[in-house]
């Protein structure tokens, strides 16, 4: 474990606060529990339920080592706010629905699609082990890890806030607000979908300019956390690896989601051609303006 902690942080093992190793052991324990739970219940959304919970847990554990460092505490609070908001949104959509006889009953519809696509139970359990469990949990740890690097740099160099840290923290809050708005718009759309006329997918509000505005704001928040760590003196590769892997994960998830949506709603293919996938481009903005004026 000492070799791993040294590799991840770029520091000699003896200089790394023990809280980091605690979270690594926690990662391993959670991984084992999640894989066994999926294997036993046939429900593969356990990582989905932990997605918004693990980063706040990690940063609060690390706060035991860096509670005197304001440079660490500010993004720590931001991540806790991020986790609380995302947990609430996941809960109201039924993500934590529980039956005392069956356990958790909510499952991401995409796992069912992939289960059917793979076809073989053994192969799907390998997919469960290496992708659903291991890969996703490692990504969660890695995109949260820049905060630990911030704490180490702040303690080692006596760093204080400067204008760049304030700017990045402010941008994070704006993205958090943007994701909240996007999720609320999508929640209201889904709640009233049966009584609506028109396409079966959201084309209103922020969703008018982006097919996945919630994804865009989510990714930007973790890119900002990585930049915050780099601004604090952290190694750019170690600080940015998690955010980069998250973008790759979301790219694959978006492709799968849109393939399912396109199979249900033929008009979605046209919507893909005229609307940006994440961040609105110039073409999208011009088309939206033309459509509005016309």
According to DSSP, residue 131 is labeled I
Helix ranges restricted to H, the chain: 2-9, 18-41, 46-50, 54-66, 70-92, 109-118, 121-127, 136-144, 146-157, 163-191, 213-231, 236-264, 268-274, 282-293
pLDDT tens across 160-199, in order?
788 999 999 999 999 999 999 999 999 999 888 877 777 8
**H or E segment and range at residue 99:** strand 98-99
Task: State whether residue 103 is helix, strand or coil.
Answer: strand
pLDDT, mean of residues 79-87: 98
In degrees, rounded to 5, the angle at the alpha carbon of residue 226 between the alpha carbons of residues 221 and 230 is 145
Give the pTM.
Answer: 0.92
d(CA 48, CA 252): 16
pLDDT tens across 206-265, in order?
999 899 999 999 999 999 999 999 999 999 999 999 999 999 999 999 999 999 999 999
Give the model's confidence band at 293: pLDDT under 50 very low, under 70 low, under 90 confident, else very high. low
Residue 288's pLDDT is: 62
pLDDT tens across 7-44, in order?
888 888 888 999 999 999 999 999 999 999 999 988 99
d(CA 202, CA 198): 10
Q: Which residues contact 241 (CB under 8 A, 6 or more apart)?
A: 142
**Token digits of residue 118:** 């793979």
Inter-axis angle of helices 54-66 and 146-157, nearest 10 = 10
The residues spanned by each domain of the chain are: 2-293
Mean pLDDT of the chain: 91
Do 216 and 207 form a contact (C-beta atoms < 8 A)?
A: no
Do 121 and 33 form a contact (C-beta atoms < 8 A)?
A: no
């Amino acid at each position: 474990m000492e070799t791993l902690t040294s590799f991840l942080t770029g520091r000699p093992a003896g200089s790394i606060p023990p809280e980091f190793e605690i979270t690594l052991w926690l990662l391993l324990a959670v991984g084992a529990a999640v894989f066994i739970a999926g294997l036993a219940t046939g429900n593969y959304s356990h990582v989905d339920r932990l997605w918004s919970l693990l980063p706040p847990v990690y940063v609060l554990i690390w706060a035991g080592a860096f509670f005197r460092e304001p440079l660490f505490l500010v993004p720590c609070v931001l991540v806790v706010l991020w986790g609380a908001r995302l947990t609430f949104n996941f809960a109201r959509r039924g993500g934590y629905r529980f039956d005392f006889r069956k356990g958790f009953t909510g499952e991401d519809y995409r796992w069912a699609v992939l289960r059917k696509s793979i076809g073989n139970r053994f192969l799907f359990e390998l997919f469960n082990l290496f992708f659903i469990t291991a890969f996703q949990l490692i990504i969660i740890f890695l995109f949260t890890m820049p905060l630990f690097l911030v704490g180490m740099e702040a303690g080692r160099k006596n760093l204080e806030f400067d204008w760049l840290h304030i700017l990045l923290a402010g941008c994070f809050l704006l993205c958090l607000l943007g994701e909240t708005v996007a999720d609320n718009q999508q929640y209201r759309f889904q709640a009233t979908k049966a009584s609506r006329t028109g396409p079966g997918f959201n084309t209103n509000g922020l969703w008018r300019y982006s097919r996945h505005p919630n994804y865009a704001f989510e990714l930007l928040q973790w890119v900002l956390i990585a930049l915050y760590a780099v601004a604090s003196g952290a190694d750019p590769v170690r600080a940015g690896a998690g955010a980069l892997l998250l973008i790759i994960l979301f790219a694959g998830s978006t492709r799968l989601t849109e393939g399912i949506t396109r199979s249900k709603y033929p008009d979605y293919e046209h919507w893909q051609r005229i609307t940006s996938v994440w961040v609105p481009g110039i073409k999208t903005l011009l088309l939206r303006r033309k459509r509005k004026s016309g």
